[in-house]
Amino acid sequence: MEEASVSIRLNPFKGLAGPEGSPVPWSPYGRILSDRPVFTLDPLWHAGCYYVQDSSAMFVGHLFRKYIGARSGQTVRVLDLCAAPGGKTTDLAASLREAFGDGFVLVANEVMKARVGVLDDNVARWGDPNVIVTGADPAAFARLAGWFDVIVADVPCSGEGMFRKDPRAREEWSPEVVELCAARQRRILADVWPALREGGWLLYSTCTYEQAENDDNLAWASAELGGEILEPEAEFEAYGVRRTPHGHLLEAGVVPGEGQWAGALRKTAPQRTSAKADPAALHPLRGGGVRKGEMKGKDFIPDPDYALSIFFDSKDYPTVDVDRQTALRYLHRDALVLPQAAPGYHVITYLGHPLGFVKNIGPRCNNLLPKGRRILMNV
């Protein structure tokens, strides 16, 4: 069986720094690498300069850019419903910022508690403060009646498209699993549907080839929930993207990446409730906006995520640019010695890209990298 390809997507708001590769046809910042480096040992990955994402999964970002349109003078509101580990979230964030500047809110939601932490870390590394991470059940969004302009639902599926990459997906597949997944996907769509405004877009995707989970479910949503299916396009057929009745199929072995299906639906049903939307009810785990830190007693303690923000200002804290080995030691959460640095807070950078804070206390520095983000392997 042919080995899975390796691809990354560069962060356009952090200088497009990262490994070299060939272009992904449907992603302006996607790159297919010739081999797999040890990403854990690349400080640029920790700095959020790029995200490791399968090239097929980037096709959802292409559809998003195609359909988001323009809403002059209004904040665009987008929900990434099943967001972990954060690949599509970071793609959407970059596309939204390029299209609308600061005029958007992106809610990245993950209901599985074990996966929320990974999502939150990846969003922090990417560094866009207009992304809010939540951990709500899809049904909780129903109270946000008509609040979102776009909902991206990369729903849990039977996983046929991952057979080449994940042997466990092959072992767990069965016709009964397909039937179970299709029913769960319809329930997820029905639960979240009230949160989408009339005329808004649903982008629906899976990593399976099963028609019951793909075309059939989008057709079900159109008929039962009220929406107009967008005709699939032929733009990338030359690259192996095949049109299905209601969407686009990327098949492992035909395209460089793994399996993916994606389609789009425009909501035509009117809102059925006049209840006022209450975004605060979702209890975000990571608030939007640039949070520089907080007062603790008489001291102002910097927020670790501020160093990774695309709006980090080096006028706020002095920076110390270090070599690769020192950067890895910092990411290993070792204590550093910076003899030329003044006492106080500093931001460690690598090739000019911030990695995080230290507090210089003279003979050594306290490493303020969050423990959950430290490199565990030997450096």
The residues, any chain, with a CB within 8 Å of residue 114's CB and separated by 6 or more, are none
Which pLDDT belongs to residue 81?
A: 97
Q: Do domains 51-281 and 293-373 have the same CATH topology?
A: no
Residues forming beta bridges with residue 276, ordered by sequence position: none
Q: Which residue has the higher pLDDT, 340 or 366?
A: 366
pLDDT at residue 74, rounded to an integer: 81
Condensed to tens digits (0 to 9), the pLDDT of residues 43-72 reads: 999 999 999 999 999 999 999 999 887 665
Contact 204, 221 (CB under 8 A): yes
- CA distance linking residue 171 with residue 163, whole number of Å: 9
pLDDT tens by residue, 4-35:
789 999 999 999 999 999 999 999 999 999 99
Q: Name the helix (H) or strand (E) containing 201.
A: strand 196-206
CATH 3.10.450.720 fits 293-373, yes or no: yes
Contacts of 31 (CB under 8 A, 6+ apart): 7, 8, 9, 10, 18, 19, 20, 21, 22, 23, 24
The more confidently predicted of residues 74 and 94 is: 94
The answer to whether 243 touches 44, Cβ cutoff 8 Å, is: no
Task: State the pLDDT at residue 175.
Answer: 81
Of 40-44, 179-183, 219-223, 296-300, least confident by mean pLDDT is: 296-300
Contacts (Cβ under 8 Å, ≥6 apart) of 337: 363, 364, 365
Say if residues 263 and 214 touch (Cβ distance below 8 Å).
yes
Q: What is the tens place of the pLDDT at every residue in 277-291? A: 666 656 666 866 778
Residues marked as catalytic: 207
Q: Look at residue 302 in the predicted model and tell me its pLDDT.
A: 93
Q: How many residues does the chain have?
A: 379
When pLDDT is averaged across residues 105-118 and rounded to a whole number, the result is 94
Q: Which residue would you say has higher pLDDT here, 378 or 48?
A: 48
Least confident among 225-234, 277-286, 324-333, 345-354: 277-286
- Considering the four listed CATH numbers 2.40.50.140, 3.40.50.150, 3.30.420.40, 3.40.50.300, the one that applies to the domain covering 51-281 is 3.40.50.150
For residues 361 and 344, what is the distance between their CA atoms, to the nearest angstrom?
7
The pairing of strands 6-10 and 27-33 is antiparallel
Euclidean distance between CA atoms 41 and 28, whole angstroms: 25
Could you give the C-alpha distances from 47 to 35, 114, 369, 373, in angstroms and in order? 21, 23, 12, 11
Q: Quick one: average pLDDT of 146-170?
A: 85
Domain range annotation of the chain: 51-281, 293-373
Split at pLDDT 50, 70, 90, the class of 298 is confident
H-run or E-run covering 30: strand 27-33
Mean pLDDT taken over the chain = 91
Which residue in 12, 136, 162, 125 sits closest to 356, CA to CA?
125
pTM: 0.93
Lowest mean pLDDT among 3-17, 102-116, 154-168, 243-257: 154-168
Q: What are the structure tokens assigned to 350, written together?
A: 């690598």
Which amino acid type is present at position 177?
A: V
End-to-end CA gap in the chain = 33
pLDDT confidence tier of residue 268, bands split at 50, 70 and 90: very high
Task: Please give the pLDDT value at position 124.
Answer: 96
pLDDT digits (tens, 9 = 90+) for 306-323: 999 999 999 999 999 999
DSSP single-letter state for residue 252: B
